[in-house]
Amino acid sequence: MSIFFLFLFAEEKAAAAEEWNPSEYGWFLAGGAAGFILHEGAHALAAESLGFDARLESRGKPIPFVVVRYDLVSTRDENGNIRYTDEAGRPVSDGAQKQYAIASAGINSQNITSELILTLHPNLRGERRPFLKGVLAFDIIVSAGYALIGRKDPDGDLRGMSEALDVSDKWMATLIFLPAAFDTYRYFYPESRWAPWVSRGSKAYLLGLAIRW
């Protein structure tokens, strides 16, 4: 949350002589809330489309929050093999593919939203669009948070994604962090020619992992 308000402070100084009124601060926070709804809504939509019941639950660690949970359970046996079941213990076919699709839905929705914002408004930093800036801030900060502290959450999306692909959580954290880093650069340096394409490529790679099955 402190990072979110640092971004907010930066926005106040973004354009020369620009001063936000109280309603614009409100729109900025509303944009952040919209980003949260889009993120969790993407998880719920992916889960329901694959036949799993989605529900809202609160969690305490690593950061207190409200998240979408679904009845797909992964357990590792004594040989290190992962078994996917529903909450009744029934085996789930193509469990790894479904796990990745659901766990990555939030991040992929953020990447798509951020790309739309920065493509349609490449000079967003100099524009008075607090709502869009709030959405973008949420997207970037959540992705960075996943990469920096997501590995501490045993039930989090980062673990689900890396487990489903059978890759290290450090590698998955890097894949999640890169689009956020490139989009931050694009925001502050909109004249860059290389950053948009590298950013889009990193987002397309993550999305492609979800739909390649």
Q: Quote the tokens at residue 115.
A: 């790309």
* pLDDT tens digits for range 173-183: 999 999 999 99
Q: Which residues pair with 82 in a beta bridge?
A: 76
Per the CB < 8 A criterion, the answer to whether 126 and 63 are in contact is: no
Instruction: Tell me what pLDDT residue 18 has.
Output: 60
Round to whole Å and give the CA distance between 114 and 8.
Answer: 17
Flag whether pLDDT at 130 surpasses 80. yes
* 64 against 169, higher pLDDT: 169
Q: Which residues pair with 57 in a beta bridge?
A: 67
Per the CB < 8 A criterion, the answer to whether 72 and 52 are in contact is: yes
Beta-carbon-side half-sphere exposure of residue 154 (alpha carbons within 13 Å): 4
Instruction: Tell me what pLDDT residue 63 has.
Output: 60
Tell me the residue range of the domain where 113 lies: 2-211
- Tally of structural domains, the chain: 1
Flag whether pLDDT at 1 surpasses 60. no
The H-or-E segment that residue 75 falls in is strand 73-76
* 14 against 93, higher pLDDT: 93
Per the CB < 8 A criterion, the answer to whether 11 and 28 are in contact is: yes
- DSSP for 90-130 reads -B-TTHHHHHHHHHHHHHHHHHHHHHHHHHH-TTGGGS--H
- The model's confidence at residue 85, banded by pLDDT at 50, 70 and 90, is confident
Range in 1-5, 60-64, 155-159, 169-173 with the lowest mean pLDDT: 1-5
* pLDDT tens digits for range 25-51: 999 999 999 999 999 999 999 988 888
Flag whether pLDDT at 75 surpasses 50. yes
Per the CB < 8 A criterion, the answer to whether 136 and 117 are in contact is: yes
Q: Quote the tokens at residue 122.
A: 């490449």
In the predicted model, what is the mean pLDDT of the chain? Answer: 84
